[in-house]
Structure 1
């Protein structure tokens, strides 16, 4: 009888497990880290969806697109979270993504009407440095200085690609000259953001490519006010991070539910103090104390998605040529 009872229990558990839908989200490593937004968002969504949310870390944003492009219609992912405005044109060209039905009122410096991708946060790229040290106020000044910098590879990292387009948007045809000047400031080029920022924290360089919001992490989470973002006269390039539903998903309704969940307070309130970016929709309680101390770029730079895609290869070639000399 005990064996029969155990067998019946096992069958019931298996049936219950089979009935629980699973939603797989590909995202970047720092999102799923224990200190990132992933664990809190997973718990909050599972409270509402009666499902199993599976977050899969895949290095940085550019690597996300490369992976789903490789996997194609066979991808295990239902949602890709972590692309940005510099990648969405290329993502749409794959034909792998489906339109969404999300309705939201966004609080961002740019209007958002894209039918395929849903924004969840945004920020400005910046070089982070020790607040006690002087910092350059432009790319030209940085290139003329002896400051050492850490940057990310634009072929695998969204900040790395953002830097290319920042220089291109600010200097146009003079971008190769800027990169030639910066080439001897660069200590190393890492595959992703986490590695570069970790090296900076270990004292391997004077500055690291990150975001204007990065000092908020140190101030709020560590009570450390020794980090600052350098304000550049050319302006700062924006990044809007987005998520999209794969057309091949076998959970289309659940995927739509997650995308709509992204613009709710339960998701957006987690973003500022875990992903350390500005939320796409302002949380009910606003931003944490400390965000008011951040630099506010006087000029915002952002190329339209199609233009960013069109000049990407040219900008990448300019960068490679400068660093190979």
Structure 2
């Protein structure tokens, strides 16, 4: 009798596990790190979804899109989280993403009416330095200085691509000359953001390409006011990060629930002090104390998503040529 009861219990437990739906979300590595938003988002969503939320780290944002293109409709992903407006047109062209019906009162300074991609945070790219370091306030002046910088590869990293678009948007036909001026300042080009920021913290560079919000981490999480973002005269290129549902998902309703959850108070309140970006929808309590100290760009730069691909090819060729000399 005991053995029959035990066997029945095992079968019941196995059946319960099998019936628990799994929602698989591909995202970038830092999102799923112990210090990133992933663990808190997972706990908050699973508290009410009756599901297993599974995050899969796939490098940086640009690498994330490359993986989705490779896997195509056979991908295990139900949701892709971590693309940005520099990648949405290329992502849309794959035909792999489904439409959504999500609406929200977005906090970033532009209208949003994309029917496939849902924003979850935003920020502005910037070079971060030690606060006491005297630094130039433009790309041209930086190229004329002796400061050492570390940046990310635009072919694998959304910050790297953001920098490429920043220089091209600010300087147009002069962009190649700007990169030629910067070439001697670049210590290395990393695959992703985490590697670059780690090198900066270890003292291997004077400045690192990151975000205006990055110093908030050091101030709030570490009580350290020694880091600062540099305000550039050219303005700063914006990043709006987005998520979308895969057409091939077998968890259609659950994926829709996640996208709706993503713009809710529960998700958005997690973003500022885990992903260290501005939430797409400002939480009811406002931004955490310390965010008011951050650099606020006087000029926000952003290329319309549908125009990015044409600009990107020329900008990438200029970048590669300048750095190869």
TM-score range, shorter chain: over 0.9
Matched with 2:290 is 290
Deviations 1:99-153 (A, max 9, x none): 0111211111111110000000000000000101111100000000001000000
Q: CA RMSD in A?
A: 0.5
Matched with 2:38 is 38
Matched with 1:196 is 196
Deviations 1:132-185 (A, max 9, x none): 111110000000000100000000000000000000000001000000000000
- List alignment gaps of at least 5 residues for structure 2: none
Distance 1:26 1:159 in 2: 18
Matched with 1:121 is 121
Matched with 1:158 is 158
C-alpha deviation, 1:36, in angstroms: 0.5
Distance 1:64 1:319 in 2: 22
* Pairing of 1:293-308 with structure 2 (within 5 A): 293-308=293-308
Distance 1:187 1:103 in 2: 43
Matched with 1:254 is 254
Matched with 1:227 is 227
Distance 1:196 1:311 in 2: 25
Distance 2:29 2:250 in 1: 24
SS at match of 2:224: coil
Matched with 1:91 is 91
C-alpha deviation, 1:306, in angstroms: 1.1
SS at match of 1:295: coil
* Pairing of 1:1-325 with structure 2 (within 5 A): 1-325=1-325
C-alpha deviation, 1:287, in angstroms: 0.5
Distance 1:8 1:19 in 2: 16
Distance 1:107 1:305 in 2: 19
Deviations 1:71-117 (A, max 9, x none): 00110000000000000000000000000111211111111110000
Distance 2:150 2:189 in 1: 6
- List alignment gaps of at least 5 residues for structure 1: none
C-alpha deviation, 1:33, in angstroms: 0.5
Distance 1:57 1:281 in 2: 24
Distance 2:79 2:34 in 1: 20
Distance 1:20 1:284 in 2: 33
Runs of 4+ in 1 over 6 A off after TM superposition: none
C-alpha deviation, 1:14, in angstroms: 1.0
Distance 2:135 2:7 in 1: 68
Distance 2:118 2:275 in 1: 17
Q: TM-score with structure 2 length normalisation?
A: 0.99
Distance 1:247 1:296 in 2: 38
C-alpha deviation, 1:313, in angstroms: 1.0
